[in-house]
Amino acid sequence: MRKPVACRLGWHKWVRRSTPDGELYRECARCGRDQGPPGPAVPF
Ligand SMILES: [Zn+2]
């Protein structure tokens, strides 16, 4: 999968998603990377 330039710079577009279990997590809308467990800082 090609990574968009913005993502390569670390500027992911985080969106909220939820697992089938109903647990929320964040995923990049562009490259699909998931952010893992909720952290203190959420850039974009
Ligand atoms: Zn991304």
pLDDT tens, 8-34? Answer: 999 999 999 998 999 888 999 999 998
- The residue-averaged pLDDT of 30-40 equals 77
pTM for this one? 0.64
Taking the C-alpha atoms of residue 8 and residue 43, their distance in angstroms, rounded to an integer, is 14
Query: Cα of 20 to ligand 1 centre, how many Å?
Result: 22
Task: Give me 3's structure tokens.
Answer: 């990574």
Structure confidence at residue 1 (pLDDT): 59
Cα 44 to middle of ligand 1, angstroms: 10
How long, in residues, is the chain? 44
